[in-house]
Structure 1
Amino acid sequence: MKIKSYKGISMLLISILFLFAEHTITANVSLPSIFGNHMVMQQNADVKLWGWGKPFENIKVTTSWSNDTLKTVVNNNGHWSFMLHTPKSGETHHITIQGYNKVVIDDILMGEVWLCSGQSNMEWCASYGFINSEEEIKNATHEEIRLFHVNWRTSPYRCIDVDGEWIKCTPETMKDFSAIGYFFGRELNQKLNVPVGLISSNWGGTPVEAWIPSEKILGNPDLNDAANKVPYFPWAPNKPGYTFNSMIAPIIPFTIKGVLWYQGEANVDNSYAYTDMLKVLVKCWREEFKTNFAFHYAQIAPFKDYQKTSGVEIRDAQRRALDVIPNSNMIVVSDIGDTTDIHPRNKIDAGKRFAYSALNKTYGLTEYPLSGPLFKDYTINGNKVEVSFKYSEGLHCTEKELKMFEVAGKDLKWYPAKAVIKNDKVIVSSKEVKAPVHVRLGWTNSATLNLFNKDNLPASSFTTEEWSKVMHSL
């Protein structure tokens, strides 16, 4: 009897092993989460499709927009990939991947794909509340807007997948998605008449270093020193690379049109390095995604509770980044901010400004406004300083007098100055400074400027003093 029992157990174990073997043989092909039902793929582009399987497994891919059958073999690391050329927007598509098992991706739209990243102001959603949020939630049914939210994860090593899925934009799904991302996508969908895919990967309170590959920070003594000045935050990771590894790297090299970036509030402790940090981030991401994607970013909003002048230093560092980051543009939100709240609740206009920036610079629709006045150059004539701006057409003041201009001499002591507009330039002078050397505008954390251009977009704060070098030497 015991022998029969052993035989029975052996047969049971063999049956279980066969079941596991059968499952292994028939269920090997899998995809990262960024590929799934309801997704948007970048239209008319070369797109990489990748996944995993059993080594030496034969993989075939067919698409609804082509008669071709693509074939490959899973390598010894369990990876496979294909390059697909996508069609223009217009129809709904599907992709079939056949290995030992079959995976079908349904309800695919071709359109424009944008990655929305940064910290809390990009993360902010309707569930948190913003101006007119209840009405916007009710009207948020958009069949051609698809959302992919990357859930919070952190890792000291690069991850191969993220926790997220593509979903259609509805009142229920929109309310927990990036509000700025949603309003940006809605404008693009309406103005371009194409589907829009939005990938939201952000974490409130994260410094820029967390979104940069760690080796790019640790291998640069200056950037590493700056990164060490960021304090510990109990609400967010601050170590270099930790959110890049877990929330950006796994979706690379998914083809995107561009990136929206709203971040900087967590870098007020190392503002002097922010221009270089942002430059490194964009360069690294473009190398990883293997495309010179468009980069549109927001200058942080004025806020009174930053220490000393750290808030305006970040804004100036962001302004200066325009000169070192190709194919980029910066939106200014000082006039729609809230100096008492680090999270301004006018997300609608912020999203629209991002959209107009992209429509103009990325899509070539110049009827949409690109930027407010940006400092260009200055000329000293005796005791007067003539300041010129980019995007200065229709330069005007929204109040009786221009405010927040200052000048300084060689002693770098700053004095309030009188400023008047003449021929789309600003003439600045102060009785206290007979021989001016430098000029600046809005050099306070809470500065809300009253200098605008014809598009009614506000000027950015600026200074001609090289403050970042001074701060770095302290």
Structure 2
Amino acid sequence: MFLFSKNTFPGSFITNTGFLSIAITLLMINPLLAAVKLPKIFQSQMVLQRNQPIAVWGWASPGEKVSVQLNGTSESVKTAANGKWKLHLPAMKAGGPYIMEIKGKNKLTLSDVLIGDVWICGGQSNMQWRIDQTDFKEQDTAMINNTEIRLFTTYIEMDYMPQGDIKGTGWKSLSRESINEFSAVAYHFGKYLHRELNVPLGLISDNLGATSIETWMSNEALMQFPQFASEIGDIVKRGKSFQDLKADFEKQKPEWHQKYYYVGKGIEEQWFDRGTDTTGWKPIKPAGNTWEQESELKDFDGAVWFRTYFDLPEGYTGETFFLQLLQIDNYDIVWVNGEKVAESYGKHNHRNYHIPTSLLKPKDNLLTVRVFDTGGIGGFTTNAFWGNPILWGNWWYKKGHSIDPQKFLQPVVPNATPFSSPAVLFNANIAPLTPMSLKGVIWYQGEANAPRAYEYRELFPALIRDWRKHWGQPELPFLFVQLANYKEEASNPKDDDWAELREAQAMALTLPRTGMATAIDIGEAADIHPKNKQEVGRRLSLVALKVAYEREVVASGPAFKQMHITNNKAILEFDHTTGGLITRDKHGYIRGFQMAGSDRKFYWAKAVIDGQKVIVTSEQVKQPVAVRYAWSSNPGKLDLYNKAGLPAVPFRTDQWKGITSEAKFKEGPRF
């Protein structure tokens, strides 16, 4: 039956008609299962993982025999009662191209299939950033034509429950177009790696900008953390997907809508009409403005009506106009020029509406939004930074129908943002890929979690273990990029959340088969998306050669090992100094060091190389206790490298409590 947040909803909504509808739906499903079907990751031009059993899976009619042939081998299996089948072909060496045939009542043929190494390329915007968003243009035509690298980009979806399939571009061989549309970091990683390995590579770009790490973790992993268990506990217990919840809601919506929601003076008097008397309506800037910021609305629950006018861009010819209202707490109904055009439910859902231009005029289009709050804060809750000219404009509002939130019955609907809602991206975009074997993962994420850097110390290792568990590969190589330098250079030493996030990332190196590419020297102060993705990819490829392929290569810059205090000097020793320490400063100094005494106040310090060690001093600190290096969002120009040209890894010798030590995920407005 349909779910509500209260259990006191009067009457039963399950009718004979409802049961008949369900029965008809079930009857319609079986014919669809008659044809053998593969998940979308199985397509021509794909790459399958070498030297590991090859999983192939899909759907067919219950009891149907399905066989798969590839490279002279064949296996078959009988489809289970739920319409699913899965089998394993024996491990194969790198090679191809091959033909894969899948036979049941029908026959599917995949051509140009390669056996090589498959890498998932995950994270947020710095992994998502495409080649055509950087300054790089691939000029090596021979490489494009002859290199066996295949590219697959996932189209990002969300769900509460693990899904069986993804959406995406399909596998693409290299071309100028496919390269330009692909993750820049992942492409450069694959290109450098292929030069060293000369085996086919399959790169799966599965990422989304601005996302927090918890969106990419499974329900099971997050349930181990109290701050997430309280958020998703009911979701897990309910066990319903977005599709299930939407179907439930649509069946029960008419009665609930008419009786509890689509009511009040504003509806009766049609306040969405252009001729509405707006006497008494008050001005407001709604973007990022919760009701608690308006004295009249502070304790109000129910409907508040908002109005504004907007123009189409000059010369606009599109069939639809994109109206982006971002997040609204809790529900909204939207009218344009008196016509109802959209409605949404759920305070975390993003309101992205495409309005037919046939309803619009070049100028002075009336936009009316009824915002309905069911308790707590209300209004347009997304930070104004993410807004647009319509949201930033002048609006007017008027209170409408009021409710008692303790008595109002709230439907259970999908209510999530892809950027920070726990588990929704894992369920929709990672879980469907976990049956396939991988060579490894490259990961570039953390910016969104910097305000909760200490929490990241636990979340990041948990994600790594989580993915390894779901892939059934306990030591799946997991390689990541430590955050690049960003923001204005600090004039004086201070605590810093990005520095604490970098520290949290480095702590994950205690897990086996992990590796980190440091990017502290190739970022840009004014751009959170530095253009030099080529060097990031190269450094990741070095880490891959070291960790995943066990080659003797220099893959890390100098990493702090230990400190000795002698009088007023701190003497530092480092690992990964192959070839020796070097400074790029012509005078031999090293920038980026800070020093503190027992008072915990840090001052800039002088540092010089002494053989395989670094000696640090500060005129302000007579009795040193702690040293920090590159401990800032942007430590400025740095000089300390090894002879392989890799930068020293940011570090601190102290364990003093940081500024993010108490910050944890909590329910509330979030992007």
TM-score by length of 1: 0.88
Does 2:472 match 1:304? Answer: no
Q: Is the 8 A contact 2:487 2:524 kept in 1?
A: no
What does residue 451 of structure 1 align with? Answer: 640
User: What is the SS of the residue equivalent to 1:34?
Assistant: coil
AA of the residue aligned to 1:387: L
Paired position in structure 1 for 2:378: none
For these two proteins, the number of residue pairs brought into alignment is 449
| Structure 1 position 360, deviation (Å) | 2.5
Whether contact under 8 Å (1:395, 1:424) holds in the other structure is yes
Map of 1:429-468 to 2, 5 A cutoff? 429-447=617-635, 448-467=637-656
Other-structure match for 1:70: 75
Query: What amino acid is aligned across from residue 213 of structure 1 in structure 2?
Result: S
Q: Where in structure 2 are the equivalents of 1:38-437 lying within 5 Å?
A: 38-66=45-73, 69-128=74-133, 130-133=134-137, 135=139, 140-164=144-168, 165-221=170-226, 236-291=418-473, 292-304=475-487, 309-323=496-510, 325-366=511-552, 368-393=553-578, 394-399=580-585, 400=587, 401-437=589-625
Measure, in 2, the Cα distance between the counterparts of 1:136 and 1:295. 29
Q: Does the 8 Å CA contact 1:141/1:171 hold for their aligned counterparts? A: no
Paired with 1:58 and 1:175, the residues of 2 have a C-alpha distance of 42
Structure 2 Cα separation of the partners of residues 395 and 199 of structure 1: 37
What is the Cα deviation at residue 50 of structure 1?
A: 0.9
Code of the residue aligned with 1:272 in structure 2: it is Y
Higher relative contact order (CA 8 A, sep 6+): 2
| Separation of aligned partners in 1, 2:652 and 2:661 | 17
Q: Distance in 2 between matches of 1:282 and 1:252?
A: 13
Change (3 A) 1:216 1:379: same
Looking at structure 2, the residues matched to 415 and 49 of structure 1 have their Cα atoms a distance apart, in angstroms, of 59
Q: Give the aligned residue type for 1:109.
A: L
Unaligned 5+ runs, structure 2: 1-23, 233-347, 349-380, 387-416, 664-671
**Corresponding letter in the other structure for 1:57:** E
Query: What secondary structure does 2:110 align onto?
Result: strand
Query: What letter is aligned with 2:505?
Result: Q
CA distance in 1, matches of 2:486, 2:546: 29
Seen in structure 2, the aligned counterparts of structure 1 residues 467 and 197 have a Cα distance that, compared at 3 Å, is farther
1:27, distance to aligned residue in structure 2 (A)? 4.2
Contact 1:309 1:445 in 2 (8 A): yes
Q: What one-letter code is carried by the residue in structure 2 that aligns with 1:326? A: P
Deviates more, 1:329-338 or 1:452-461: 329-338
User: Structure 1 pair 60/419, CA: closer, same or farther in 2 (3 Å)?
Assistant: same
- Specify the SS of the correspondent of 1:81: strand
Paired residue secondary structure (1:147): strand
**Equivalent-residue separation in structure 1 for 2:37 and 2:458 (angstroms):** 39
What SS does the aligned partner of 2:167 have? coil
* Pairwise CA distance, 1:177: 0.6
Q: Secondary structure at the match of 2:443?
A: strand
Q: Tell me, in whole angstroms, the C-alpha distance in 2 between the residues paired with 1:467 and 1:214.
A: 33
Given that 2:46 and 2:112 are in contact with CA atoms closer than 8 Å, whether structure 1 keeps it comes out as yes
Contact 2:188-2:537 within 8 A present in 1 as well: yes
Q: Is the 8 A contact 2:439 2:477 kept in 1?
A: yes
Shift of 1:157: 1.9
On the 8 A contact 1:32/1:51 being kept in 2, the answer is: yes
Provide the residue aligned with 2:39 in structure 1.
32
Query: Could you give the per-residue CA deviations for residues 119-171 of structure 1, whole angstroms, max 9, x where no partner exists?
Result: 1111111222x123364799644551111110121122211110121111211
Q: Return the letter of the residue paired with 1:59.
A: V
Residues 143 and 462 from structure 1, CA distance in 2 versus in 1: closer, same or farther, beyond 3 angstroms?
closer
Letter in 2 for 1:409: G
Q: How many angstroms apart in 2 are the aligned matches of 1:343 and 1:138?
A: 29
CA contact (8 A) 2:593 2:604 kept: yes
Check whether the contact 2:443–2:478 (CA below 8 A) recurs between aligned residues.
Answer: yes
* 3-state DSSP of counterpart to 1:150: strand
Counterpart CA distance in 2 for 1:468 and 1:136 is 50
- 8 Å contact from structure 1 (residues 232, 238) kept in 2: no
CA 1:468–1:89 in structure 2 vs 1: closer, same or farther (change >3 Å)?
farther
Amino acid at match of 1:253: P
Q: Deviations over 1:444-467 (max 9, x none)?
A: 211142110110111121112225
Question: Could you tell me how far apart the structure 2 residues matched to 1:204 and 1:61 are?
Answer: 37
**Whole-angstrom distance in 2 between the partners of 1:338 and 1:272:** 25
The range that moved more, 377-386 or 173-182, is 377-386
Moved more, 427-436 or 339-348: 427-436
Task: Please give the root-mean-square deviation of Cα atoms over the aligned residues, in Å.
Answer: 2.8
Q: For the Cα contact (< 8 Å) 1:137–1:174, is it kept in 2?
A: no
5+ unaligned residues in a row in structure 1: which ranges? 1-16
Q: Report if the CA contact (8 A) 1:25-1:100 is conserved.
A: no
Q: Deviations over 1:306-351 (max 9, x none)?
A: 996122221122122212x211111112222212211110111111
Q: CA deviation at 1:71?
A: 2.3
Rg larger in structure: 2
Whole-Å Cα distance in 1 between the matches of residues 503 and 120 of structure 2?
24
Percent identity over the alignment is 36
CA distance in 1, matches of 2:176, 2:537: 18
Find the aligned partners of 2:508 and 2:70 in 1 and give their Cα distance. 42
| CA positional deviation for 1:226 | 12
The structure-2 alpha-carbon separation of the partners of 1:424 and 1:49, relative to structure 1 and needing over 3 Å to count, comes to same
User: Where is the helix percentage greater, Structure 1 or Structure 2?
Assistant: 1
CA contact (8 A) 1:97 1:103 kept: yes
Looking at structure 2, the residues matched to 137 and 309 of structure 1 have their Cα atoms a distance apart, in angstroms, of 45
Bigger mean CA offset, 460-469 vs 392-401: 460-469
Residues 27 and 279 of structure 1: is their aligned pair in 2 closer, same or farther, counting only changes over 3 Å?
same
Q: Verify the 8 A CA contact 1:48 1:254 in the aligned structure 2.
A: yes
TM-score by length of 2: 0.63
**2:506 counterpart SS class:** helix
AA aligned to 1:241 is A
Cα distance in 2 for partners of 1:254, 1:25 equals 24
Shift of residue 225, structure 1, vs aligned partner: 9.3
Aligned match of 2:301: none
Whether contact under 8 Å (1:403, 1:450) holds in the other structure is: yes
Residues 57 and 211 (structure 1), Cα distance of their counterparts in 2 relative to 1, 3 Å cut: same
Q: In terms of mean alpha carbon deviation, does 183-192 or 377-386 score higher?
A: 377-386
Q: 1:468 to 1:322 in 2, by over 3 A?
A: farther
User: How far apart in 1 are the matches of 2:33 and 2:224?
Assistant: 45
